Amino acid sequence: MTHPSPNHGDRRGGARPSLIVIHYTGMEDGPSARARLCDPEAEVSAHWLIHEDGETEPLVPEDRRAWHAGAGAWQGQEDVNSRSIGIELVNPGDRPFAAAQMDALEALLPAIMARWQIGPEGVIGHSDMAPGRKIDPGPRFDWARLARQGLALHPENAGEDVALADSLTRIGYPEADPEARLAAFRLRFRPGATGPEEEADRRIAAAAATVFHPVG
């Protein structure tokens, strides 16, 4: 196994991975994405790159701090890079994820989760930890599919009609503009929903808040 990206460092403060952050590359193809993730001048990287045909490539050793998450937080904890494993899926952001790619992700996740004792509550999207700044893996990513296999959390039923802001904080979303937080929540739990906050947002968020337990 090779790890071709030089873009990594020590995990700060003795941190250990308690999150897995899923991204899309936002680039046209795998070779372009790989070149950027391995370019010292780009100063970005991820632990894993999954190509559209399912090829799964290690770029940074998992015990190292890859540079994939950037500014943001989850459950009140910043420096997500020090606390996470980053997975990049080759996708420009304007198309569904290939079946072979999703199959490969479903094969990779359990191994990472077992190595680092990360539960499904620790598998999040880039947009979850950076509302208003990032939108990947986007509305086409099938979180419910992962949840059915115990690889992420996605409530099947609605909960009570309670304050949305309280539920989003309990789930782990960082403080941000209310519209940005709502948009980030919808990308994962109500893809395609638009407009002002609705009762469905509050009920689904309330249900999610009951299953997202503190990580790390």
Domain ranges of the chain: 8-148, 164-209
Mean pLDDT of 172-193: 97
**Dist CA 162 CA 154 (whole Å):** 18
Q: What percent of the chain has pLDDT over 70?
A: 100
- Among residues 49, 45, 2, 15, the alpha carbon closest in space to that of 29 is found at 49
Q: Which amino acids are annotated catalytic?
A: 88
Neighbours of 180 (CB within 10 A): 16
Amino acid 216: pLDDT: 75
The 10s digit of each residue's pLDDT in 91-110 is 999 999 999 999 999 999 99
8-148: which CATH architecture?
A: 3-Layer(aba) Sandwich (3.40)
**Dist CA 59 CA 69 (whole Å):** 15
Q: Please spell the DSSP secondary structure of 96-160, one letter per residue.
A: PPPHHHHHHHHHHHHHHHHHHT--GGGEEEHHHHSTTT--TT-TTS-HHHHHHTTSS---SS---
Amino acid 125: pLDDT: 98
Amino acid 119: pLDDT: 97
Amino acid 3: pLDDT: 86
- What is the chain's mean pLDDT, rounded? 97
Mean pLDDT of 121-125: 98
- Among residues 103, 205, 117, the alpha carbon closest in space to that of 146 is found at 103
Token pair in block for residue 168: 């989003």
Cβ proximity of 129 and 21 under 8 Å: yes
The 10s digit of each residue's pLDDT in 136-178 is 999 999 999 999 999 999 998 999 999 999 999 999 999 999 9
Amino acid 109: pLDDT: 98
Amino acid 62: pLDDT: 98
- Among residues 30, 66, 25, 27, the alpha carbon closest in space to that of 46 is found at 66
Amino acid 56: pLDDT: 98
